[in-house]
Structure 1
Amino acid sequence: MSNRIAAFRADGTTRYGVVTDEGLIDLTDVAGYADLQAVVVDGALEKVIALAEGRAPTFASDEVEFLIPIARPEKILCVGVNFPDRNAEYKDGSAQPKHMSLFPRFPRSFTGHGQPLIRPPENHTLDYEGEVVVVIGKGGRRIAAGDAYDHIAALTIANEGTIRDWVRHAKFNVTQGKNWDNSGAIGPWLVPFTDPAQLDDARIVTRVNGEVRQDDVLANMMFPIREEIAYISTFTTLVPGDVIITGTPTGAGARFDPPKYLVPGDVVEVEVNGIGTLTNTVADE
């Protein structure tokens, strides 16, 4: 049985279910949880996925609209400049930072798999950033790095789309460039986290119109995911359903000369082995 579980809209309602090669098995009315976030909060991902055993698909994949898996997280926190080559891209002579950079994103800044990333009329420097996402399943404060993996419920993928000019509006603040409505994407689904190798051996590959732009392994992160969870939980309590977007490799469009920003009609794919491929087009608002 597939271990992929997605949130989606079908027949005018928001639903969730297991994704198979033949289609989606709707479990909304079977599992009894209001949405996929409630499943995560209750620690019931694997139990709900098991309910799909022996059931036929309810919808074909092209009959549904994929949604971001966690619709209303208390927190979406993103780690910036987390690969050595990314730090070097800034060409400011800085050494590896002592502490990680963090910024928040809001749920409405993301859309689902298969939906367009939206380029706003105010600025056309829409860029891509392929990243691994961890979803917290067990909350905690001051979590030790060695225990951090015990607090992860599931993995998914983000295209942490960014309006580059707007991250430069202030000296120490990128929030406004990171939160344009529907400028990024999360999905296509959640995969339960059951084995450290799912992260330790993960590779991010981002393609634009089939051209590889980003390609790196999580093992090269300056701040590994264990450390991210430990550091973040030092200053804020993590709760089930919180989302951590863990950092993007070198190769974003802004770093080319001239820059390669996204334009309407582009197709962006972010692939992570063991999770899947998040695919989005680009459209003007």
Structure 2
Amino acid sequence: MHFVTFRTETDTTPRLGAVVERSIVPLPGDMISLCAQGAAGFAAAADQAASIASSARQPMDSAILLPVVPRPSKVICMGLNYADHAAEGGNAKPEYPSFFLRSPSSLTAHGAPIRSPRASTKLDFEAELAVVIGRTARHLTQANALQAVAGYSCFNDGTLRDYQRKTAQWTIGKNFDETGAFGPWLVPAAELPPGAAGLKIESRLNGEVMQSSNTGHMLFPVAQTLCLITEAMTLEPGDVVIMGTPAGVGYARTPPVWMKPGDVIEIEIEGIGTLSNRIAGEA
């Protein structure tokens, strides 16, 4: 079963829901508390959702989805985690991941706009796997790292390429408001292969395939990545780890391809779903 964070047109309070037959069943609690309950919590939530009468469900079309975790305490991203993407940018295969952080204000939801800012027109797409953490973890090992994962989602690491390259650090180009799309829902880890390995990952811009690869091609798989992160910092329930993008991004094309207002960008990951956003200009 898939789980969402949503609100209604008349109530802006974020609510937890389960997706049942193209409708949302409201559930008590929130996404972070659900993730912290682990597999047993997801199973109990699924049983509760299945038992609720159809009259109490909200049609998906009338709900407003929010980022899967609306305001995570940490969004830890990876660069150059696919060899073909590193190569298309003129980079060698890294010996250690390029980690950077995103802020909650940079996130946007499935169906919501990705904002093309006034400051730049070089807005690029990056199809990525999102890992949502379910328990407090430090000094993880290969043997226990995946036990810290609550579930997975899709992510579009929208990047302003000119701003990314203004400095040696990528933070400014990766944190424009409403450029990181996150959704549409969370799929519990138990419903996917360990580490979400071997899944097709694809981006499509206005229906045209831009990136097409497989999560099995990641240089640093999920378990190894979590081990490296927790050498340095404690992961907490609701934290999000974004796993890097394969080749085919816009800046590496001739001529470059940038997302512009009116475009529709889709990120699809096998077994998870499709994250779709229209590009809109900044007000």
Give me the TM-score of the superposition, normalised by structure 2. 0.93
Could you tell me how far 1:196 is from its partner in structure 2?
A: 5.9
Aligned partner of 2:3 among 2, 5, 29: 5
Aligned to 2:239: 242
Could you tell me which amino acid in structure 2 is paired with residue 40 of structure 1?
Answer: C
197-206 or 221-230, larger mean C-alpha shift: 197-206
Aligned to 1:260: 257
Distance in 2 of aligned mates of 1:235 and 1:72? 22
Aligned to 2:188: 192
Could you tell me which amino acid in structure 2 is paired with residue 115 of structure 1?
Answer: A
CA RMSD, 1 decimal: 1.4
Distance in 1 of aligned mates of 2:22 and 2:132? 26
Matched, 1:38 2:49: no
Could you tell me how far 1:204 is from its partner in structure 2?
A: 0.6
The CA deviation string for residues 69-112 of structure 1, in whole angstroms up to 9 with x for no partner, is: 11222211001011010111122xx5311101000001110111
Distance in 1 of aligned mates of 2:79 and 2:189? 23
Three-state SS of the structure 1 residue aligned to 2:49 is coil
CA contact (8 A) 2:132 2:149 kept: yes
Distance in 1 of aligned mates of 2:102 and 2:155? 12
Could you tell me which amino acid in structure 1 is paired with residue 131 of structure 2?
Answer: V
Aligned partner of 1:216 among 197, 204, 213: 213
Distance in 2 of aligned mates of 1:19 and 1:46? 14
CA contact (8 A) 1:37 1:72 kept: no
Distance in 2 of aligned mates of 1:144 and 1:157? 25
Could you tell me how far 1:195 is from its partner in structure 2?
A: 5.4
Aligned to 2:170: 174
* Percent identity between the two aligned chains: 37
Aligned length: 275
Aligned to 2:16: 16
CA contact (8 A) 1:266 1:281 kept: yes
Distance in 1 of aligned mates of 2:143 and 2:253? 38
Aligned to 2:60: 61
CA contact (8 A) 1:37 1:71 kept: no
CA contact (8 A) 1:188 1:278 kept: yes
Distance in 2 of aligned mates of 1:115 and 1:195? 26
Distance in 2 of aligned mates of 1:263 and 1:20? 34
Aligned to 1:112: 109
Could you tell me how far 1:59 is from its partner in structure 2?
A: 1.4
18-27 or 226-235, larger mean C-alpha shift: 18-27
CA contact (8 A) 1:156 1:188 kept: yes
Distance in 2 of aligned mates of 1:273 and 1:22? 18
Could you tell me which amino acid in structure 2 is paired with residue 134 of structure 1?
Answer: V
CA contact (8 A) 1:214 1:249 kept: yes
Three-state SS of the structure 1 residue aligned to 2:115 is strand
Three-state SS of the structure 1 residue aligned to 2:274 is strand
Distance in 1 of aligned mates of 2:45 and 2:102? 28
Could you tell me how far 1:201 is from its partner in structure 2?
A: 2.1
Distance in 2 of aligned mates of 1:227 and 1:103? 17
Could you tell me which amino acid in structure 1 is paired with residue 36 of structure 2?
Answer: V
Matched, 1:124 2:121: yes
Compared CA separation, residues 22 and 183, structure 1 to 2 (3 A): closer
Matched, 1:52 2:39: no
CA contact (8 A) 1:37 1:69 kept: no
Aligned partner of 1:141 among 138, 144, 149: 138
CA contact (8 A) 1:153 1:193 kept: yes
Three-state SS of the structure 1 residue aligned to 2:93 is coil
Could you tell me which amino acid in structure 2 is paired with residue 96 of structure 1?
Answer: K
CA contact (8 A) 1:149 1:196 kept: no
Aligned to 2:84: 85
Could you tell me how far 1:22 is from its partner in structure 2?
A: 3.3
Distance in 1 of aligned mates of 2:258 and 2:22? 35
Give me the TM-score of the superposition, normalised by structure 1. 0.93
